[in-house]
Every structure is written in structure tokens, then in C-alpha cells.
Amino acid sequence: MTAAELVLLFAAGVGAGLVGAVAGLASLFSYPALLAVGLPATTANVTNTVCLLFQGAGSVSGSRPELRGAGHQVRRWVGPALLGGAAGAGLLLLTPEGGFERIVPFLVAAASALLLVPPRPGTDRPPGRGVPLGVFGIAVYGGYFGAAAGVLMLALLASLPGTTLLRANALKNVLLWAANAVAAVGFAFLGDVAWVAVPALALGLLLGGRLGPAVARRVPARALRVGIALAGLGLAVHLFVDAWL
């Protein structure tokens, strides 16, 4: 791998880390960058998941202010996230390529559209029992493919009663980090990881992920919600063209 390619991966990692911590769209930058340096699709996907572990570490560290008082929510949903990440990684390792990726554009588009729905008034009513199942399903998707799993998780958590967008974003960072961690361990031992690409991309993701929550605090909540939704719809179009055309 050339020096120029390593610089490209680092720069893409910084952008991916920023966008991932704020909007859950890290793979919008990191996955295409891995393809651009010549990695096959499956290898790029596996390598991307391993590198996203560093983005998660940075974004969780930067989200500590928003996570104060959220310990009970983390404890309630981290189990489904871990199980889902493991199931998704196993699914990728055991099944041939193709098919599932064709569903991705529609999932991303639906999640992005959901972010445009105004949040419900705050209430003390506890979240429904379907939330752990939703977390598990999104974590399965994250472990299998990863791109835009953050959009799906953010849409789920932001729709919960009484949850601010910043709190939902912080919880999303924790839960996806857990799911990615399990998948990354599986891929490290059983997958075709392009280790030569990992240091540059991972360092950029760690830096961008650490800075992302601070950026999110300085953007008005409504503008952040609309911006995330539009970015997600743009990614849905991009994924649709790649998968169907």
C-alpha cells in the first residue's frame, strides 16, 4: 500500500469518525475509501468493521457528558447489542456474498425519513418492550454489513419518549461500539482483514470519533436532525445505485 493510499485512509477515517459520532454515517467515508485503495468488497467490509472499533472508542469517550444518568439504559440494551453484533458477524462468515446488501438502501431511507418526524413531547413513560428487539436487529445488521447502522440505531433511540437527540446519539455510540466490538473480534480471528490498512484508518477514526460529540453539541438539535436525515437519504441513494444499477 502506497503512502498516498495511507494518507487517503487516514483522512477518510477522520471524516468518518466525525460523521459517525454525530450522525451514525461513518461508513459513508470509510467503506468507499477501502474500496478505493483496491480492497474487494467483503474484505473492505470486514476491515471497516474492525476499524470502526476505534471510532466507537473515540465517540464514547467524547459522549461522556450526555451519558451521565444513562447507565440504566446502557445496561438494559447492551446485552441485545452484543448478541446482535455476534449474530451479524456469524451470518457474514457463514453465508455467501450478495442478496442482503440489496435491502440496505431501503432500511437506510426509512430510518432517515423517521428522523424527519418531530420528536414526541417528553414523558416519564418507560420505553416499550420492543426496544431491545430493535437494538438486537440493528446490531445484527451492523455486524453483518455495518454501513449506516448508526442511522438506524439513532432513529430508534431518538423516537423514544423524553430522549433528546444528543442523549440518543450518545447511547447509539455505546450500543454500536458494543456490537462492533464483538463482530471485530470474530473477524480478527476468522475473517479476511486487510491489516495493512487498519492503522491509518483506525487512527483517523479514533481522532474523528473523539471530536464528533463536541461538534454535535454546537449544532442546533433541529438542524442536526434534518442534516442527519438528508445525509442518510443521500447514502441510501448511493447504496441503491451500487446494489441495483
Question: pLDDT digit string (tens) for 69-127?
Answer: 889 989 999 999 999 999 999 998 887 766 667 887 888 888 788 778 765 554 555 55
pLDDT at 152: 85
- Measuring CA to CA, which residue among 98, 100, 67 is closest to residue 175? 67
List the chain domain ranges.
3-244
Q: How many CB atoms lie within 10 A of CB 32?
A: 16
pLDDT at 98: 66
CA distances from 48 to 13, 52, 187, 221 (A): 10, 6, 10, 29
pLDDT at 103: 82
How far is residue 186's CA from residue 97's CA, in Å, rounded to a whole number?
A: 17
How far is residue 236's CA from residue 2's CA, in Å, rounded to a whole number?
A: 31
Give helix 149-158 / helix 3-23 axis angle, nearest 10°.
10
pTM of the model: 0.81
pLDDT at 125: 53
pLDDT at 118: 67
Residue reference for cell 445525509 = 231
Residues of the chain with pLDDT under 50: 122
- Measuring CA to CA, which residue among 181, 235, 168 is closest to residue 28? 235
- Measuring CA to CA, which residue among 158, 208, 192 is closest to residue 25? 208
pLDDT at 87: 96
pLDDT at 101: 74
